[in-house]
């Protein structure tokens, strides 16, 4: 088991290093120079500035310095935000809202995904199954931004306006991230795709389990229906779900980009898009590495969790 975890951690470190290296050299390869015209500086000043930022050193040294700084979370200053805000500050300002949005969506997606999958599998071939799977196929076919706009237009705009005379207030605000009501639509829009993925996976994994021999045994020895479902079916069919949690965290995370900019949530995703559009390179590098590290770490956790749950995985390695 320790060997298994150790190899996983090694891959994680390698992946992180690769990501950091790729990021660095891609930024190096970018055309342009901060001291080009029209902000041309006298040669002596430019030399001093270069020296100050370490740009006069060979690329290899710059790379090592960058790696050292990145390891402690120091990505320098934002080009775009005035008043010398560091990238870490910019990220720190956006992180809480994103984390809340992502976490809420994750919980919602897992809960309703499992529920739908279980209902579908237990009623396989009946109406409930068809309905759940229709929802699921819809979920993987509708891009998050389309769903977000549709909800914003029909629910937050039309439906809330129609209800306003009755309630005396707008049920859902169109944008924002303050009241509970304002968090409702973004969370649903973000979780829908993942919910669909989970419910499809849960259904097929449940159906595999239902036909297996140990379920027959459990039934034959006279366990109640609920005991069979809870202790024998659920536990065993949950295994494949654990594997998709890593990619799902990635999907939810990239989903936050669009959901945040559509619903005006002051999070990291919106920040990332604005920095891409403003070509704020230090922030792009910083957020990219932050996101990358976060996801790579998530994958590590999922791998270890899977190894703990299923002995076959760690023995195979």
Partner 1 sequence: MKKKRSLPGLSPIAPPVDYGALVFAENDFEVVGTDIEKSMAMVRPSISYWRDAWRRLKMNKIAIACLIFIGIMAVGSVLMPLISPFTFREQHWDEVKLPMFTICTEPGAAGIGKLHIFGTDALGRDMWTRVWSGGQVSLFIGLMAAFTNFVLGMPYGLVSGFVGGRVDNVMMRIVEVINGIPYLIVVTLLMVVLPGGVTTIILAMAVVGWTGLARLVRGQVVSIKEQEYVIAAKTMGASRSRLIFRHIMPNTLSVVIVSLTMAIPGAIFTEAFLSFIGIGVQEPAASWGSLCQQAQSSVFMNTYLLLIPAAFICLTMLSLNLFGDALRNVLDPRMRK
Question: Applying CB under 8 A, which of residues 6, 29, 72, 167 lies at the interface with partner 1?
Answer: 29
Both structure tokens of 114: 């499992």
Asked if residue 146 binds partner 1 (CB under 8 A), the reply is yes
Residues touching partner 1, count (CB under 8 A): 42
Residues 193, 108: contact at Cβ < 8 Å? no
Shortest distance, position 42 Cβ to partner 1, whole Å:
30
Return the closest-CA partner of residue 271 out of 103, 33, 19, 85: 85
Tell me how far apart the alpha carbons of residues 40 and 46 are, in angstroms, rounded to a whole number.
Answer: 8
> Residue 210, interface with partner 1 (CB under 8 A)?
no
Question: Which residue, 42 or 125, is less far from partner 1 as judged by CB?
Answer: 125
| Torsion-angle region of 175 (φ positive above 0: left; ψ -120 to 50: alpha; else: beta) | beta
Q: How does DSSP assign 193-252, residue by residue?
A: HHHHHHHHHHHHHHHHHHTSHHHHHHHHTT--HHHIIIIIIIHHHTHHHHHHHHHHHHHH
Residues numbered 159 to 178 that lie near partner 1 (CB under 8 A) are: none
| Closest by Cα among 51, 91, 52, 84 to 70 | 91
> Which of 69, 141, 179, 217 touches partner 1 by CB under 8 A?
141
Single out the residue of 4, 79, 95, 145 in contact with partner 1 (rule: CB under 8 A).
Answer: 145
Instruction: Tell me: does residue 19 bind partner 1 (CB under 8 A).
Output: yes
Mark 259-288 with x for binding to partner 1 (rule: CB under 8 A) and - for no binding.
Answer: --x-----------x--xx-x----x---x
In this structure, are residues 314 and 305 in contact, taking their beta carbons and an 8 Å threshold? no
Report the interface residues with partner 1, using CB under 8 A. Answer: 11-12, 14-15, 18-19, 22-23, 26-27, 29-30, 137-138, 140-143, 145-146, 149-150, 152-153, 157, 250, 253-254, 257-258, 261, 273, 276-277, 279, 284, 288, 291-292, 295-296, 299
């Amino acid at each position: 088991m320790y060997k298994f975890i150790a190899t996983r951690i090694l891959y994680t470190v390698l992946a992180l290093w690769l990501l950091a290296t790729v990021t660095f050299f891609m930024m190096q390869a970018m055309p342009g120079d901060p001291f080009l015209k029209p902000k041309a500086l006298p040669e002596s000043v430019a030399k001093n500035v270069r020296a100050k930022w370490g740009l006069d050193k060979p690329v290899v040294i710059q790379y090592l310095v960058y790696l050292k700084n990145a390891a402690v979370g120091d990505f320098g200053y934002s080009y775009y935000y005035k008043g010398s805000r560091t990238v870490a500050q910019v990220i720190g300002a956006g992180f809480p809202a994103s984390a809340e949005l992502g976490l809420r969506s994750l919980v919602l997606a897992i809960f309703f995904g499992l529920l739908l999958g279980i209902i579908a599998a237990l009623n396989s071939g009946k109406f409930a199954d068809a309905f759940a799977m229709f929802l699921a196929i819809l979920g993987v076919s509708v891009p998050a931004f389309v769903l977000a706009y549709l909800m914003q237009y029909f629910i937050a705009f039309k439906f809330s306006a129609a209800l306003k005379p009755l309630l005396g207030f707008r049920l859902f605000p169109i944008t924002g991230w303050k009241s509970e009501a304002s968090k409702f639509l973004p969370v649903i829009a973000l979780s829908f795709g993942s919910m669909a993925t989970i419910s499809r996976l849960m259904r097929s994994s449940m159906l595999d389990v239902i036909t297996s021999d140990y379920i027959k045994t459990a039934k034959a020895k006279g366990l109640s229906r609920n005991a069979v479902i809870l202790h024998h079916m659920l536990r065993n069919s949950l295994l494949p779900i654990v594997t998709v949690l890593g990619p799902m965290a990635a999907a939810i995370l990239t989903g936050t980009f669009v959901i945040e900019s559509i619903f005006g949530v002051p999070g990291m995703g919106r920040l990332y898009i604005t920095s891409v559009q403003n070509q704020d390179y230090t922030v792009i590098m910083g957020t990219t590495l932050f996101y990358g590290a976060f996801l790579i770490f998530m994958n590590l956790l999922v791998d270890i969790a899977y190894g703990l749950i299923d002995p076959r995985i760690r023995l195979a390695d």
